[in-house]
Amino acid sequence: MALLTDHMISWMVAVPVIGIVMLAFVREQEWIRRIAFGCSLVNFGLAIVMCLQFDFTLQDMQFVERMAWMPTFNIQYAVGVDGISILLVLLTTLLCPLCVLCSWNSITTRVRAFMSLILLVEGAMIVVFTALDLFLFFMLWELTMIPMYFMIILWGGPNRSTAGIKFVLYSLTGSLLLLIGILGLYLEGGHTYDLLILSEQTYSPTVQFWLFLTMFLAFAIKMPMVPFHTWLPDAHSEAPTAGSVILAGVLLKMGGYGFLRFCLPMFPDASVTFAPYILWLSVFAIIYGGYLALAQSDLKKLVAYSSVSHMGFVTLGIFVFNSQGIQGAILQMFNHGLTTGALFISVGQLYDRTHSRAINDYGGLHKPMPKFVAFFFLFSVAAFGLPGTCNFIGEFLVLVGTSSTSFAMVLFSMSGIVLAAAYMLWMLQKVALGEANTKAAKALPDLSNRELATVIPLAILVLWIGLYPGPLMEMMDASVTNLVNHMANISPQIALISGSS
C-alpha cells in the first residue's frame, strides 16, 4: 500500500502506458475496447483513492515525487498535486472511461489506434496537471496535441483535414509562445525548471510584462479566449464524439490551469496591469459566445460556441484576484467538463442513429426516446446554470468575486446567462418537443444500457455538485487561499484588491 501511495501519480501515468502496450498484442476488437475501458477505469479508481487520502487542510503540494532526469540541465521528473490540480486530474480520469464507452459502437475502423490515443491523452494530461518541472510540463503539453490531431483527421467529418491543420497551427503557435516563456523563466530564475522555486522568486516589472504576455497568449489560445477561438468550432464539428469530449472536457482546461499555475503566482504585477483588458474581454466572450450559439443550426457547433461563453466565466473569475472568483473559476472548469462533455455525448448518441447533427432534422423525441430526452434536458438546463445544477454554483461564485471589482461586469455577464438559457431552451424545444420532422425521427430507439451507463454518472455529478458542492470547495480552499496570499505578499496592488474583496 505504501508503494501505491508514495508513487500514486506515477502509477496513474503508467496505467495508460501499460494499456497501450497490451492493446498492441490484442486483435479482437471487443477485447481492445474492454482493455481500454478497464485501464481507464483503474485510473479513475486511483484518482478516487488519491482524493480520499488528500489532506484538504494543507496548502503545499502532496503526493510529490522527484527523480533526477537530466541533471546536467537541472531537469527532473517531478510531479505533485494540490487542491487546484487534483480536481482536474479527477476530471480527466472520469471522462476517459466515458469516452471509451461512447465510442464502443461508433468507432469501427482502426479501433486499436483510437483506444490507444484515448489512453495516451489521458496519461499526458495527468502529467500536465501534476508536473512540477517546466521542461516536463512543456513536453507533455506538446504531446497532448498529437492524439487530438489524429482523432480529427482519421475519424472526423468531411472537413476533418482543414479542422485538423487549423487545430495544429493554433496549438503550435501557443506552444512556441509557451516555450519562449519557459526559457525566459529558466534564465531569469537561476537556471532551474523547478516550478516551486520559480514561483517563490520576484521578477522585475519588465520581465514580468514580457513573460506574462507570452504565456498569457499561449494559454489564451488553448482555452480558447476570444479572439483566439476560431479553431474550436471547426475542431468540435469535425471530431468524433470522444474527441469532442476530451477537447471540451479536458484540453481546454490547460489554459485556465496555466493562468493559475504560472501567470498569477509568478507575474502578479503584470497580471494586475493586464487584468482590466482581460476582464472586459472575458465579459465580451460570454456575450459573444452566447450570441453565436443562438445562431447555430448544428447541434455540435451550438455546444462548441457555448464553450467559448463558459470559458469567459473562467477567465473572469481568475483575474479578479480574490478567493471567491478563483474558486468559482476552478469549479466552473470542472463543471464545464461535466456538462459540455455530457452534451457532446448526447449529440453523439443522436448522430449514431441518424448521422445528422442538424437541429431541424429532429423534433418530438420525447415520444420515441423519453430516457434520452430526460438526460438531455438535465444537461441542457445545467449548461445555462439552473439553480440546483453544478454550473450555477461556479457562475455564482465568479459573479460574487467579480462584484468587488465591477458591478457593471456582473450585469453584462448575467446577460450572457440569459442568452445561454435562450439557445439551450430553443434547442430543447426544437429537438425534444413538438412533432417529429422526419419519419426516421419518429422511430429512433431509446438509450441502450451501455449508453445509459455513459450518461448516468455525469447526471449524478451534475445534481450532486449543484446541491452539495462542499467537498469540492473544501478540497481547493487551502490552495486557493495560499495563491491569493502569495500574490498579495508579492504585489501591493493585489494586496489592495484582495483586502477590499
pLDDT tens string 29-44: 999 999 999 999 999 9
pLDDT for 261 = 94
Find out whether 369 and 433 touch, Cβ atoms under 8 Å: no
Q: Output DSSP code: residue 360.
A: G
Q: Which domain holds residue 263?
A: 2-500
Looking at 189-248, which runs of residues are DSSP E strands?
A: none
- Residue owning grid cell 477590499: 500
* Buried b or exposed e, range 368-382, using 16+ CB within 10 angstroms: bbeebbebbbbbbbb
Report the percent of the chain where pLDDT is more than 90. 73
Peptide bond into 227 cis (omega under 30): yes
pLDDT for 60 = 87
Q: Residue 131 — left, alpha, or beta (φ > 0 → left; ψ -120 to 50 → alpha)? A: beta
SS3 27: coil
Q: Cα(354)–Cα(476) distance, rounded to whole angstroms?
A: 42
pLDDT for 497 = 67
Segment 399-415, tens digit of pLDDT: 999 998 889 999 999 99
Residue 491 has pLDDT above 80, yes or no: no
Closest CA to 79 of 4, 13, 147: 13
Q: Output DSSP code: residue 82.
A: -
Segment 70-79, tens digit of pLDDT: 988 889 999 9
Segment 191-214, tens digit of pLDDT: 899 999 998 888 999 999 999 999
Q: How many domains does the chain have?
A: 1
Q: Cα(346)–Cα(446) distance, rounded to whole angstroms?
A: 12
SS3 for 282-328 is: HHHHHHHHHHHHHCCCEHHHHHHHHHHHHHHHHHHHHCCCCHHHHHH
Three-point CA angle 183, 187, 193, nearest 5°: 65
pTM, two decimal places: 0.94
pLDDT for 501 = 42
Closest CA to 287 of 312, 267, 254: 312
Mean pLDDT to the nearest integer, 236-263: 92
Which residue type, as a one-letter code, is found at position 39? C
Q: Cα(218)–Cα(174) distance, rounded to whole angstroms?
A: 4
Contacts of 346 (CB under 8 A, 6+ apart): 372, 375, 376, 379, 455
Mean pLDDT to the nearest integer, 305-330: 93
